[in-house]
Amino acid sequence: MVAEPAAAASTIDVIIGRNDTLDGIFRRSGLDMADLAALRQLPDIRQRLDFLKPGDAIKLTHVNGQIEELTRKVSQTQTLDVVRQDGGFVVKMIEDPVDVRVRTASATIDSSLFQAAGAADISDAVAMRLANVFAWDIDFVLDIRAGDRFTAVYQQIFQNGKYVRDGEVLAAEFVNHGKVYRAVRFVSDSGNAGYYTPNGLAMRKAFLRAPLEFTRVSSAFNPHRLHPILNTIRGHMGTDYAAPVGTPVHAAGDGHVSFAGWRGGFGNALILAHGSNVSTLYGHMSRFARNMRVGTRVQQGDVIGYVGMTGLATGPHLHYEYLMNGVHKNPQTVQLPGAEPLRAEALQKFRSLAAPLIAGLSPPSAAAAAAPAPAEGVPASSSGSLAAAPATVNSRSVAAAPADPRSKVSIYQ
């Protein structure tokens, strides 16, 4: 008698959707539920099987509904592979390591931050991280000018010879109005990552320069301006950030809500009380974030509300004020208190790790020509050291067209 040929194996490639579960996938695909129960009984595997996120991929190989192999990527460097053998299912983890390279790239701003970054083959994600590193010293809404330049030393992740994504910014320099700001990422022994100046001072300050990300400013601090609605000379004791309705508004610093409600011409307004007799006001908001009420504690960067045009407003924008002892200060120029600097032992380690990164930011002559009195800063890091890989890939500089250094430019394309 001639034996019947073995049934051919079939493969099902599944992309996880919202609310998908393995039970649902097995039932929809007509797979043996007893196999799923057996898979879940395997040691240390259930969580890796059942923790599914939209976009995850699972490959199922079966013969007439009986599972022969299940494969899914559980991390960037590991793939779970379960194969049926004579004695049952066998589990193995397939390692697929990544190659971390370090790239240094420079650009000069002509018309926008992102355009300059793109011309230097720097991704928008790295440009955003760069802006976040210097957010306490530079208001990227108001302060950017044509002729400003920047350098970033950052990681690029490759796998099997192919570029995957960008990693951490390890060190950066930004020359703004001729003033040099430098920052280096450092991870302490306790695992806390942060950016510091070459002298070990924290880049992080008690307050952000701007409570919105990358928007244009329609009206700056001016104590003698003509009010656009009332048509009278009325001091403008803060800064207006024009942005679409619904744009998130962030707390400039740690504190608690001391006022939340309607406040005359400011419309829906929120006042935060911070330490050292400092308070900040956020006006014309469309609505407050959830649970924003008097007494609510907030941390720097928390979303506290959303841009609107309530009260006396000619268009959607955020009105932002910074007050010290009840006196208005210009949010763009007021001296901001800094965070804790590195202590002696950590500082020594930081300096030894930071030195080669700082040396690669720009030639000393260029830095000296750009600014007689440089100000420096530092960004956040991963764990224990500054750079995760020794190799420098390429370095490219983009020259700017001659421009009036006083002219403002957009960070947008």
Rounded to an integer, what distance in angstroms lies between the CA atom of residue 393 and that of residue 244?
Answer: 39
Q: Which of 329, 357, 377 is where one domain is finished?
A: 329
Residue 290 is assigned to a structural domain of this protein: yes
Whole-number Cα distances in Å, 89 to 14, 100, 166: 20, 35, 37
**Any idea what the CATH number is for the domain that residue 283 is in?**
2.70.70.10
CB 166 within 8 A of CB 154: yes
Helix or strand run (H / E) with residue 57: strand 57-63
Tokens in use for 66?
Answer: 């009986």
Q: What does the alpha-carbon distance between residue 304 and residue 254 come to, in Å, rounded to a whole number?
A: 12
Query: What is the predicted pLDDT for the residue at 35?
Result: 93
pLDDT, tens digit, 9 for 90 and up, residues 24-36 = 999 999 999 999 9
Last residue of a domain, one of 295, 329, 363: 329
Q: What tokens appear for 411 in the block?
A: 């960070």
How far is residue 63's CA from residue 10's CA, in Å, rounded to a whole number? 6
Query: What is the phi/psi pair of residue 132, to 5°?
Result: -65, -35
| pTM recorded for the entire structure | 0.65
Contacts of 103 by beta carbon, 8 Å cutoff, 6+ apart:
153, 154, 155, 156, 392, 393, 394, 395
Whether 395 contacts 101, CB under 8 Å: no
User: For 357-367, what is each residue's pLDDT tens digit?
Assistant: 998 886 544 44
The answer to the question of residue 381 being in a domain is no
Cβ burial of 231 (10 Å; 0-12, 13-18, 19+) is exposed
Q: Is the dihedral of CA 169, 105, 205, 386 positive or negative?
A: positive
| 121, 80: one domain | no
DSSP H helices in 207-359: 344-359
Examine the domain organization and report whether 237 and 321 are in the same domain: yes
What's the pLDDT tens digit per position in 230-239?
A: 343 334 468 8
194 and 228 in a common domain? no
Same domain, 264 and 292: yes
129 part of a folded domain: yes
pLDDT band at 377; cut points 50, 70, 90 = very low
C-beta separation of 285 from 249 below 8 A = yes
293 and 220 both lie in a single domain: yes
| CA 12 – CA 306 distance, rounded (Å) | 45
Residue at which a domain ends, from 203, 228, 246: 203
- Can you tell me the distance from the alpha carbon of 108 to that of 125, in angstroms, rounded to the nearest whole number? 18
- 107 and 196 in a single domain? The answer is yes
What pLDDT score does 6 carry? 63
Whether 220 and 318 share a structural domain: yes
For the chain, the helix, strand and coil percentages under 3-state DSSP, each to the nearest 5: 15, 40, 45
- Which residues are CB-neighbours of 71 under 8 A, at least 6 positions away? 58, 59, 61, 79, 80, 81, 82
Q: Is residue 158 part of a domain?
A: yes
Beta bridge partners of 410: 112
In a domain, 211, yes or no: no
Cβ atoms of residues 152 and 172 within 8 Å: yes
Give the pLDDT confidence score for residue 322 in this predicted structure: 93
Residue 350 lies in a domain: no
3-state secondary structure of 360: coil
For residue 241, is pLDDT > 90? no
103 and 176 housed in the same domain: yes
pLDDT at 4: 58
On the question of pLDDT at 227 being above 80, the answer is: no
Judged by average pLDDT, the poorest of 164-178, 216-230, 299-313 is 216-230
Q: Does 57 lie in the same domain as 42? A: yes
Digit-coded pLDDT (tens) for 96-107: 899 999 999 999
Q: Look at 57-61, 78-82, 101-105, 236-240 and tell me which has the smallest mean pLDDT.
A: 236-240
Residue 164, pLDDT above cutoff 70: yes
pLDDT computed for residue 269 by the predictor:
97
284 and 180 within one domain: no
Q: Give the CATH number, domain containing residue 170.
A: 3.10.450.350
1 falls within a domain: no
Q: What is the pLDDT of residue 3?
A: 55
In-domain check, residue 58:
yes
Coil vs helix vs strand at 212: coil
Looking at the fold, whether 143 and 74 belong to one and the same domain comes out as no
Task: State the total domains in the chain.
Answer: 3
- The answer to whether the beta carbons of residues 300 and 259 sit under 8 Å apart is no
Co-location of 107 and 75 in the same domain = no
- Give the tens place of pLDDT for each residue, 303-362: 999 999 999 988 899 999 999 998 999 887 788 877 678 888 889 899 999 999 998 886
Mean pLDDT, rounded, for 379-389: 35
pLDDT at 273 over 90: yes
Residue 29 belongs to domain spanning: 10-95
Predicted pLDDT of residue 336: 80
Distance CA 95, CA 83 (A): 16
